[in-house]
Structure 1
Amino acid sequence: MHARKRTASILGMVLTMLATLGVSLALSPPAHATQVFTDIAYAPAQPAGSRGHLLDLYLPSGGITPRPLLIWHRGSAWSSDDGKSRADEIAAVFNAKGFAVAGVSVRSSTQAVFPAQVHDVKAAIRWLRANAATYQLDPNRFAMMGDSSGGWLTEMATLTGGVAALEGTVGTTGVSSALQTGLAFYSPTDFLQMNAQNLPGGGLDHDSPVSPESLLIGCAIQTCPDKVALANPVNYVDANDPPLLFLHGQSDFLVPHGQSVLLYNKIRTSCGNAQFISIPGADHGMADVMDPARFGTQTTYTTTNCGSTTQTGTPNPTWETFERHLRGGLKMGTSCQVSYARTTWTDGFTGTVTIRNTGTTPIDRWVLTWSWAGNQQVTTAWNATVTQSGTQVTARDAGHNAVIGASSSTSFGFEATYSGTNAVPADFKLNGIPCAITTG
């Protein structure tokens, strides 16, 4: 009896620790969010009065529309039905970068066992995609991010697109639940190997009947390996998966670092696309793996198209690195160059704009924006749909030229009127990122 009480007490402390070791960024509310919608029910509450079928949505001010979407779920060892918490802190970072952010909750393991949590997140994705036009979201650019059990949920959602057995019937159906990319922090990936990978000094007894993993599955994990296998992200890896970035501290006391090693090796041998950042000395927490004091010490493993590379000291685990991954996975472009040429005559000119993708990932669908310094007014255009509001110009691809491969380019032209100055625009932004400018 005393042993059971002591086990329950230890578990309670662990669950509390896991619930508080998530993202803590000490950021202000999202200054770039123009609209915040809270407690949207993407499905009826189950059980009644619970929070596991709610989401919050943060829409940025400015930027291009439709907007890319980043879904966030906070880890809690599956003990909480409020995984959307702290989405405001994620929005404080990514609204400013032009992303909409959705904080999504799913049912806790005390409310429902696996696969309910995956059914829930897929229902939320389906609801967001079905309502994309209402909130000006891009249904083809959905990403997800989470830490710990939220990282597990991110990996499950990212790696199981098209797995019918995990769709469930929660909420909206008949809409794709696929993600285009994922970003996960210190996630469990193969439950049955966790105890063997614990740090020499100890760690959580994952095999215990009251461990977070056992409570999620509904049985002591070593006694029901077939059920556990269905909950292991590593078992869903194949070459067609979206690109995944994941990070793990080598001193993680709660989720062994080896869990991410297993996942990376499976993706590499499956000819998938992934980047794994391993941080020495870091424990279980976003503040720990993103600590600037550790910058330059990390090892980064990258696998693409059946090839792999290893780098030491770069890239640092920063929001800029994460944005670059998301933009690449969403095929928005990570760097660009614009060449701008004019042929002028009295009161008018033609402009030719050449966009070059200087990044390493393809761009699929593009929007180029710029502002005039004078009173230029576009009157017609070709190879792009060009609109103007005041001095702000927006050019969208014409469909046939929507894809710009890495190190490739596309061009469009326009005719415009002007009087007085006809200076070259000082800034061009491609899908929201500034481009280097050359003139001819």
Structure 2
Amino acid sequence: MHARPRTATIVCMAMALLAAVGLSAALPRPAHAAQVVTDIAYAPAQPAGSRGHLLDLYLPDTGTAPRPLLIWHTGSAWSSDDGKAGADAIAAIFNPLGFAVAGVSVRSSTQAIFPAQVHDIKAAIRWLRANAATYQLDPNRFAIAGDSSGGWLTEMAVFSGGVAALEGNIGVTGVSSAVQTGLAFYSPTDFLQMNAQNLPGGGLDHNSPASPESLLVGCAIQTCPGTVAQANPMTYVDANDPPLLFLHGQADFLVPHGQSELLFNRIKAQCGRATFVSVPAADHMMDQIMDPAQYGAETVRTTANCSETSRVGTLNATWSNFTTFLRGGLQLGTSCEVTYATGAWNGAFNGSVTVRNTGTTPVTGWTITWTWPGNQAISSAWNATVTQAGAQVTARDAGHNTYIGPGSSQSFGFSATATGSNNPPAQFKMNGVTCTRVLG
């Protein structure tokens, strides 16, 4: 396919737009974290003075430890080495839910060509897992997310677990770089098909030697198909991959919507697990993907066990729904119900708490929290380790009762003192998720 006129100008404009359309219009600021640790070097800078091997950590002041981790990388058409910028906005959403958030930078395509960027994200994941105990992270519950080239990086991390050629030897080695789930926005997936999928009104000439994709792999993409195949997330899809949620706008001018269609069909053919949300009228911008005007109009395709379901308008592009998906992928459970009952006598009472997993994923390890509305004080407990600080109560599983399958429940009891009114707590949470309350 021939290059379009004014290729260099179009490419420069597109790359500037890609670098500018991140999260500022869609997400609240600032981040709400108990502790923020910035500019952690997960590997030595390459080249010296660059930012591509730095990460920021946002640690929450809520939830229980060890905490699930969400890794974020902001897209830039691979033109920036500061992909951790914007993670503060993600932390503002996920820190209050008990998630730690890591903003990770990787090298730009001007500093190093592919597969350097994948080596970098895997090095960052290895560093985070190696240092999980220091920062109270759960090494078995890592999620990753990003937009545009950050979505590409997300998909490469999700699909390439165990691919030795993409592991690299940067920074910490000998530690797993696996993630357990991913969330990607409008990602390129098969570079050689992008031009053919451009909108009828035009689009970026991806075949140009100056296109973001060509600069990433170090050659005009049509001249080096072998190298390009290694850089396509599609190449690495198989049935053992973690679940992925990905979203794409049907009016995307920069990364064709068809890229996500190809990816979904590939995952289905390989019997993988994925949910694809196709948003009408949305371009290459987060605020358009998440525009409430689109709610109820999205096409949602889900695949598992080599089969597909398709529906319209049943998964709106909201952070609440994204969180539910990530929690499921991390096996944190997605919803719960607590039945609370008491039996009182002079100045004291016994209480029982039964928590039921009403979600579709199992819970392995649980913590129930609540706040007393009066002067109640725990004196003893059974089938859970219960502690109290002021009015705040934390009950952790006793070791023999850690597992709660979908539809199943676990119970524990306690004795406590109280004077005056002994009203029940207004709210219970399991692993940071608010449960429906039922009074016994």
Q: C-alpha displacement at 1:294, in angstroms?
A: 1.7
What letter corresponds to residue 61 of structure 1 in structure 2?
D
Residues 358 and 210 of structure 1: CA distance in aligned 2, closer, same or farther (over 3 Å): same
Aligned pair count reads 438
Q: Whole-Å Cα distance in 2 between the matches of residues 238 and 41 of structure 1?
A: 32
User: Is the deviation greater in 275-284 or in 35-44?
Assistant: 35-44
Q: Whole-Å Cα distance in 2 between the matches of residues 28 and 321 of structure 1?
A: 17
What's the secondary structure of 1:33's corresponding residue? coil
Determine if contact 2:31/2:90 at 8 Å carries over to the other structure. Answer: no
Q: What is the match of residue 299 of structure 2?
A: 299
What letter corresponds to residue 277 of structure 1 in structure 2?
V
What letter corresponds to residue 437 of structure 1 in structure 2?
R
Q: Whole-Å Cα distance in 2 between the matches of residues 118 and 274 of structure 1?
A: 21
Q: C-alpha displacement at 1:28, in angstroms?
A: 5.2
Determine if contact 2:10/2:204 at 8 Å carries over to the other structure. Answer: no
Matching of residue 271 in structure 1 with residue 277 in structure 2 = no
Provide, for residues 169-220 of structure 1, a one-character-per-residue CA deviation record: whole Å limited to 9, x for no partner. Answer: 1111122211111100000111121122111222112122221111111122
**Map of 1:129-168 to 2, 5 A cutoff?**
129-168=129-168
Determine if contact 1:245/1:325 at 8 Å carries over to the other structure. Answer: yes
What's the secondary structure of 2:34's corresponding residue? strand
Structure 2 unaligned residues grouped into runs of 5+? none
**Map of 1:228-239 to 2, 5 A cutoff?**
228-239=228-239
Q: C-alpha displacement at 1:387, in angstroms?
A: 1.7
Matching of residue 378 in structure 1 with residue 372 in structure 2 = no
Q: Whole-Å Cα distance in 1 between the matches of residues 102 and 75 of structure 2?
A: 15
Q: What is the match of residue 34 of structure 1?
A: 34
Q: C-alpha displacement at 1:293, in angstroms?
A: 1.7
Q: Whole-Å Cα distance in 2 between the matches of residues 287 and 75 of structure 1?
A: 15
User: Is the deviation greater in 305-314 or in 24-33?
Assistant: 24-33
Q: Whole-Å Cα distance in 1 between the matches of residues 175 and 141 of structure 2?
A: 15
What letter corresponds to residue 388 of structure 2 in structure 1?
Q
Residues 27 and 299 of structure 1: CA distance in aligned 2, closer, same or farther (over 3 Å): closer
Among the aligned pairs, what percent are the same residue? 71
**Structure 1 runs, 4 residues or longer, greater than 4 Å off:** 3-6
Matching of residue 18 in structure 1 with residue 32 in structure 2 = no
Q: Whole-Å Cα distance in 1 between the matches of residues 109 and 400 of structure 2?
A: 48
What letter corresponds to residue 334 of structure 1 in structure 2?
T
Q: C-alpha displacement at 1:332, in angstroms?
A: 1.6
Q: What is the match of residue 389 of structure 2?
A: 389
Normalising by structure 2, report the TM-score.
Answer: 0.94
Determine if contact 1:30/1:93 at 8 Å carries over to the other structure. Answer: no
Provide, for residues 106-128 of structure 1, a one-character-per-residue CA deviation record: whole Å limited to 9, x for no partner. Answer: 00111111111011011111111
**Map of 1:252-271 to 2, 5 A cutoff?**
252-271=252-271
**Map of 1:411-426 to 2, 5 A cutoff?**
411-426=411-426
Q: What is the RMSD of the two structures over their aligned residues, measured on CA atoms?
A: 2.0
Determine if contact 1:25/1:89 at 8 Å carries over to the other structure. Answer: no
Determine if contact 2:62/2:97 at 8 Å carries over to the other structure. Answer: no
Residues 7 and 247 of structure 1: CA distance in aligned 2, closer, same or farther (over 3 Å): same
Normalising by structure 1, report the TM-score.
Answer: 0.94
User: Is the deviation greater in 388-397 or in 249-258?
Assistant: 388-397
Provide, for residues 251-286 of structure 1, a one-character-per-residue CA deviation record: whole Å limited to 9, x for no partner. Answer: 111111111111111212222221110011111111
Matching of residue 53 in structure 1 with residue 53 in structure 2 = yes
Q: Whole-Å Cα distance in 2 between the matches of residues 118 and 205 of structure 1?
A: 24
Q: C-alpha displacement at 1:333, in angstroms?
A: 1.8
Determine if contact 2:85/2:103 at 8 Å carries over to the other structure. Answer: yes
User: Is the deviation greater in 72-81 or in 193-202?
Assistant: 193-202
Residues 27 and 250 of structure 1: CA distance in aligned 2, closer, same or farther (over 3 Å): closer
Q: What is the match of residue 127 of structure 1?
A: 127
What letter corresponds to residue 70 of structure 1 in structure 2?
L
Q: C-alpha displacement at 1:5, in angstroms?
A: 11
Q: Whole-Å Cα distance in 1 between the matches of residues 356 and 192 of structure 2?
A: 48
What letter corresponds to residue 85 of structure 1 in structure 2?
A
Q: What is the match of residue 212 of structure 1?
A: 212
Q: What is the match of residue 332 of structure 2?
A: 332
Determine if contact 1:274/1:302 at 8 Å carries over to the other structure. Answer: yes
Q: What is the match of residue 102 of structure 1?
A: 102
